[in-house]
């Protein structure tokens, strides 16, 4: 007499074995054929700013290289955490990527206390692509005409001067916090909802100083409507060669705060797909269109296109920026 239960069990095992044999080459083939459908690039800022336009430049060129459309989806809010959370919870199949600044992504765990995902484990940097500095600008009526005069004035009148940033916990906020800490001065931080409103009030004289995105402030500096006191990078910009770095102007050794952009993926994406994306991103970064876009905002192209070296860089930045956040007692809104 045939044991039906045992026979059924054997049939199930045979079926599972056959499925495994078939599924393995299908998955391998899927990797080889990647991408076989459009890729989504989550940009963690609203439409219109430099980060958005730079991310869209990457999306366009990446799509051309890979032969599939890269669709941009803007998910701004909470200093990038809303978009990052979506990416962290996405399938690790290479079809959902993120364009985010290392600056914002690195400080969120310290500033917010916790995030709905693991910053270090759930999202991995594919490539670090660009560094863009900020400009410390002042209304022309401001009495201090350079960094040394600003420091002297702030020491004479602690907490009387104020500076604008484009958001609490943003790179411009950290630029101001690092500056006041290293210079040994006290100024009042006034966060705005974006760089546009901050620069508008600086132009109008409602606030005397602003740590502004370079490209946003540059036309106003060129027109004489704003004074550029210093640049936050460790080298002068070719677009404003007469403007010193804050480090050299204020004798503040090691002062530097640039917005560093990277492309990220959910943890667990197969190596074959990661390698294909890395090679494609290297071609994007090396293109004239990308170089010109970064240069137009006073930035420099970075070429860290392996996940390993990108992760090492990210870990160092996390430690450096977390220290600034803690020392500046920077808290979320």
Across the range 28-42, mean pLDDT stands at 81
- Which pLDDT score is estimated for 168? 86
**What structural domains does the chain harbor?**
37-131+260-327 (3.40.190.150), 134-250 (3.40.190.10)
User: In this structure, is the dihedral angle defined by the CA atoms of residues 32, 87, 307 and 256, taken in order, positive or negative?
Assistant: positive
Q: Which two tokens stand for residue 90?
A: 């996405």
Across the range 157-167, mean pLDDT stands at 93
- Which pLDDT score is estimated for 30? 46
- Give per-residue pLDDT as tens, 216-263: 999 999 999 999 999 999 999 999 999 999 999 999 999 999 999 999
- Give per-residue pLDDT as tens, 110-140: 898 889 999 989 999 999 999 999 999 999 9
Across the range 267-294, mean pLDDT stands at 95
Across the range 2-29, mean pLDDT stands at 42
Return the closest-CA partner of residue 274 out of 61, 90, 92: 92
- Give per-residue pLDDT as tens, 41-69: 999 988 877 888 899 999 999 999 999 99
Cα separation, 256 vs 138, whole angstroms: 19
> Per residue in 195-205, is it b (16+ CB within 10 Å) or e — as a string?
beebbebbbee
- Which pLDDT score is estimated for 303? 84
- Which pLDDT score is estimated for 7? 41
- Which pLDDT score is estimated for 170? 87
Return the closest-CA partner of residue 261 out of 131, 147, 115, 119: 131
pTM score: 0.83
- 103 pLDDT above the threshold of 90: no
Across the range 19-42, mean pLDDT stands at 66
Across the range 193-211, mean pLDDT stands at 93
Most confident of 5-14, 98-107, 111-120, 206-215: 206-215
- Which pLDDT score is estimated for 27? 38
- Which pLDDT score is estimated for 249? 97
Contacts of 90 (CB under 8 A, 6+ apart): 96, 266
- 329 pLDDT above the threshold of 90: no
- 5 pLDDT above the threshold of 60: no
Cα separation, 137 vs 130, whole angstroms: 22
What is the DSSP-derived secondary structure letter of residue 245? B
- Which pLDDT score is estimated for 193? 82
What is the DSSP-derived secondary structure letter of residue 149? H
Return the closest-CA partner of residue 233 out of 250, 257, 251, 216: 257
Across the range 143-153, mean pLDDT stands at 97
- Give per-residue pLDDT as tens, 76-97: 888 889 999 999 999 999 999 9
- Which pLDDT score is estimated for 31? 56
What is the DSSP-derived secondary structure letter of residue 159? T
């Amino acid at each position: 007499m045939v044991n039906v239960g045992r026979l059924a069990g054997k049939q199930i095992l045979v079926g599972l074995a056959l499925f495994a044999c078939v599924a393995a080459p299908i998955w391998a083939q899927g990797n080889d054929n990647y991408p076989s459908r459009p890729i989504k690039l989550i940009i963690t800022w609203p439409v219109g700013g430099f980060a958005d336009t730079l991310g869209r430049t990457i999306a366009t060129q990446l799509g051309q290289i890979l032969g599939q459309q890269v669709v941009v989806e803007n998910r701004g809010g909470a200093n990038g955490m809303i978009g990052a959370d979506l990416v962290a919870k996405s399938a690790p199949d290479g079809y959902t990527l993120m364009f985010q600044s290392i600056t914002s992504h690195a400080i969120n765990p310290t500033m917010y206390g916790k995030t709905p995902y693991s910053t270090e484990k759930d999202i991995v940097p594919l490539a670090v692509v660009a560094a863009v500095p900020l400009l410390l600008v002042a209304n022309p009526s401001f009495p201090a005409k350079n960094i040394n005069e600003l420091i002297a004035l702030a020491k004479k009148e602690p907490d009387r001067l104020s500076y604008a940033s484009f958001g609490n916990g943003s790179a411009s906020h950290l630029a101001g916090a690092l500056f006041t800490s290293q210079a040994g001065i006290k100024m009042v931080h006034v966060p705005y909802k974006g760089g546009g409103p901050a620069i508008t009030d600086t132009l109008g004289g409602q606030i005397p100083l602003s740590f502004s995105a370079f490209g946003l402030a540059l036309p106003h500096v060129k027109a004489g409507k704003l004074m550029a006191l210093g640049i936050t990078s460790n080298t002068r910009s070719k677009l404003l060669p007469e403007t010193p770095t804050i480090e050299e102007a204020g004798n503040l050794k090691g002062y530097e705060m640039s917005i560093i952009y990277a492309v990220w993926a959910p943890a667990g994406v197969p190596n074959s797909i990661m390698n294909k994306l890395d090679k494609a991103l290297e071609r994007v970064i090396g293109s004239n269109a990308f170089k010109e876009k970064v240069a137009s905002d006073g930035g420099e192209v970075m070429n860290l296109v392996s996940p390993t070296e990108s992760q090492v860089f990210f870990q160092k930045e996390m430690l450096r920026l977390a220290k600034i956040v803690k020392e500046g007692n920077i808290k979320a809104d």
